[in-house]
Amino acid sequence: MSIGFIGGGKMAQALASGFISAGVTKGSKIVSSCAPNDTLSAESFKALGARVTHDNCDVIKNSDVTIMAVKPNIIPIVLKDIKSTVTPKNLLISVAMGVTIKNIEKELPASSRVIRVMPNTPALVRQGASVYAPGVATTPQDWETTEQLFKSVGTVHRVDEYLFDPVTALSGSGPAYIYAVIEAMADGGVRMGLSRDLALQLAAQTVVGAGTMVTTTMTHPASLRDNVTSPAGSTSEGLFTLEESSVRAAFIRAVERATRRCQEVNKGLEKH
């Protein structure tokens, strides 16, 4: 499978590396268009064995699948650039936040095959959480291809496009919330006498382990929490303190407010 990237930033690099590691494609079958002054991204792709160009149309012509991995405000420029080159043989995947399938399709030839994906940054270590929504002209084979690609860097789920804002607020922004949790837990450990390095390692691995317990056992988090909470024990005391501070409610509000912000940003993009 030949894969092209329009945009060569961290997400594009993470996806390309994951695709190669999973055996989905080879470095020699990847081409990326990078900005002329973005030498770091260009070198990163070359290190993967990929070809680098500054011509977006070159990417379209030489790829079965093209992933548009640029900032939302750059998407209209890209679409105008590639419009005359896109054919029905091209599968276009956009990972740009807030740019709807409809807004992409209307700038391209009729029957263009467009899929929208929302990955997150842990794709950098092949532990991403992605969702996708297909455009009207896509086929079941296109859906299968998208799932194959993004499963190579984590998990992937198909959702209705209207859910992309809460998905962005939960899994797109979620890593930042969890980094704050890890930092705070480590600070607590340091306060109680642990070294900074040890506290960070323990906090991070605890998050990894707890998440793996949920996904592996498919047990509700409340049940798993109860399993480690002894009557009148230290865990019970710690959980009570979290409840006193309304920590769970704070996380719920964080996802809600992040969703609202996504909606505001999307409305702004549509006006332009």
Q: Is 8 annotated as ligand-binding?
A: yes
Question: Cα(254)–Cα(193) distance, rounded to whole angstroms?
Answer: 31
Q: Is 9 annotated as ligand-binding?
A: yes
Q: Is 11 annotated as ligand-binding?
A: yes
Q: Is 7 annotated as ligand-binding?
A: yes
Record the tokens describing residue 272, joined without a space. Answer: 């332009």
Q: Which residues contact 212 (CB under 8 A, 6 or more apart)?
A: none
Q: Is 69 annotated as ligand-binding?
A: yes
Burial of 261 (0-12, 13-18, 19+ CB in 10 A): middle
Q: Is 56 annotated as ligand-binding?
A: yes
Task: Judge contact between 3 and 30, C-beta under 8 A.
Answer: yes
Q: Is 65 annotated as ligand-binding?
A: no
Sheet holding 154-158, edge to edge: 51-53, 30-33, 3-6, 65-68, 91-94, 113-118, 128-134, 154-158
Question: Cα(85)–Cα(80) distance, rounded to whole angstroms?
Answer: 10
Burial of 137 (0-12, 13-18, 19+ CB in 10 A): middle
Q: Which residues are annotated as a binding site for NADPH?
A: 56
Q: Which residues are annotated as a binding site for NADP(+)?
A: 6-11, 69-72
Q: Which residues are annotated as a binding site?
A: 6-11, 56, 69-72
